[in-house]
Amino acid sequence: MKKSAFVALLSASITSLFGQDFQNNKTDSISYYFREIKEATAKRTKIWNKDLYGEILLVDPENRQFYSNEKDITFDPNDFKKISEGKIPDTINIANTSIQWRGRNWAMIMLPLPADKYDRINLMSHELFHKAQNSLGFTQGNKQSDHLDQRDGRAYLRLELVALLTAILSDSSKEQKKYLTDAISFRNYRHSLFPNSASIENELELNEGLAEYTGFMISSRDRKHIKDHFTKAVNTFIKNPTYVRSFAYQTIPMYGYLLNLKEPYWNQQITNDSDLTKFFINHLQIKTQNLSKKDIDKLAENYNGPLIFKEEQIRADKIKKLIHNYKLKFIDKPHLDIHFEKMSVSFDPRNILPIEDKGTVYPQIRVTDTWGILEVHNGALMSKNWDKITITAPLRMDDPKIEGDGWTLLLNKAYTIRKDDKTGNFTISKK
């Protein structure tokens, strides 16, 4: 999850494990989680011809307490009751991601973990893929597909997902082929509407898409659980405020699963330069067609298209008003611009909002840098090229703690906040 560490999926709440309260039996639960994921990855080494199990940090974001499977050399490596514990420093952002810390590469996963076994293994395996992906030959790219925040981008993505889900729910190979063909038709038509969208989407699919496919495969769900999993995943996804950074969690696992039925371990043919759309078209033997808008709209009627477009038009109208308010808040009115020096950032990719050519608003975000720690809970504007972040003007400055509307900044001693009397805007600079 990478240019920065960010929260890919918020874990489902867990209140008990085997009828025992998690909070009262943390050590037993953590030991079980480590044993469970080690056994799961060991059974599925053929996916990448590699056992992905490795260093893991399970972190409670409430108190920054971590539990790791890192073993002292005197420990029995199979004794999961002996786990390392400690506190994650404030300078490290907590997220589902992979990080370099203490000279080692870790898969960091937030507690509580999902209560469902398959979801739990899926999540942990996803992050273990990120930990290993450089060694597998994949770089960590996260280009933002801003076109998926526009009405037609969202609508044709939804149609593609509905067609893919219909294919998965069918037990007929002939029907699956038909639904797959329709999914590709919606995908290609979407790409035709937005220049360069195919390559932009492909980058995230090579990163998060392959990671999620890996997690899905290692979870080893049976056919019934596979149908339930994808049905729930798609129905949950379409309700997300935005798709620009999260769509790949849906597309590649579904295409990948359907291809796996006829060509196991297809993923081993993928390289960092692969075009996944072309790869799936070729290997699934899909006959593509250049459909006109009239033809594609007619096809969409088979997948609840009219309702999808109606819902997306309503959303588009609301977003116009929201963008207007955000431009007032972060551009027109006095604000604080914070330029990055050596930043690390964590955020939830499901609710961000692109603001034309101005950048992207992140409702919640945490940034650490040489100037300090910024925590935002009511919106911040990230510049398009990720060189600065903009928040509202400060309301209280009680060194080193600076506060504004929904944000708090702990400023390092070597830095100060300066106001431009001409514009009324603020910046951070060294003293």
**Going residue by residue through the chain (431 aa), what tens digit of pLDDT does each one get?**
333 433 333 333 333 333 344 454 677 899 999 999 999 999 999 999 999 999 999 999 999 999 999 865 444 556 666 788 999 999 999 999 999 999 999 999 999 999 999 999 999 999 999 999 999 999 988 889 999 999 999 999 999 999 999 999 999 999 999 999 999 999 999 999 999 999 999 999 999 999 999 999 999 999 999 999 999 999 999 999 999 999 999 999 999 999 999 999 999 999 999 999 999 999 999 999 889 999 999 999 999 999 999 999 999 999 999 999 999 999 999 999 999 999 999 998 889 999 989 999 999 999 999 999 999 999 999 999 999 999 999 999 998 999 999 999 999 999 999 999 999 999 999 99
Is there a single domain that holds both residue 178 and residue 236? yes
Total structural domains within the chain: 3
**pLDDT at residue 13 in the model:** 30
- Considering the domain boundaries, does residue 322 fall inside one? no
Instruction: Report the distance separating Cα 358 and Cα 260, nearest Å.
Output: 41
Domain end call among 98, 132, 166: 132
Is there a single domain that holds both residue 284 and residue 408? no
Domain end call among 97, 132, 167: 132
- Considering the domain boundaries, does residue 165 fall inside one? yes
Is there a single domain that holds both residue 26 and residue 88? yes
Q: Which tokens belong to 5?
A: 């560490």
Is there a single domain that holds both residue 111 and residue 257? no
Phi (first) and psi of residue 368, to 5 degrees: -115, 145
- Considering the domain boundaries, does residue 377 fall inside one? yes
Cross-strand pairs, 374: 367, 409
Is there a single domain that holds both residue 52 and residue 195? no
- Considering the domain boundaries, does residue 218 fall inside one? yes
Burial class (CB in 10 A: 0-12, 13-18, 19+), 316: middle
Domain end call among 303, 326, 343: 303
**pLDDT at residue 27 in the model:** 73
Is there a single domain that holds both residue 299 and residue 152? yes
Long-range contacts of 191-194 (CB under 8 A, 24+ apart): 191/277, 193/147, 193/152, 193/153, 193/156, 194/147, 194/150, 194/153
**pLDDT at residue 324 in the model:** 96
Say if residues 54 and 134 touch (Cβ distance below 8 Å). no
Q: Which of 156, 146, 277, 149 is nearest to 209 (CA)?
A: 277
- Considering the domain boundaries, does residue 312 fall inside one? no
Q: pTM value?
A: 0.91
- Considering the domain boundaries, does residue 323 fall inside one? no
**pLDDT at residue 87 in the model:** 95
**pLDDT at residue 20 in the model:** 42
Domain that holds residue 274: 146-303
Question: Using CA of residue 333, residue 334, residue 338, residue 339, what is the dihedral sign?
Answer: positive
Query: Count of CB atoms within 10 A of residue 140's CB?
Result: 17
Question: b/e per residue, 267-303, with b = 16+ CB within 10 A?
Answer: beebeeebebbebbbeebebeeeebeeeebeebbeeb
Say if residues 44 and 121 touch (Cβ distance below 8 Å). no
Q: Which tokens belong to 30?
A: 């953590």
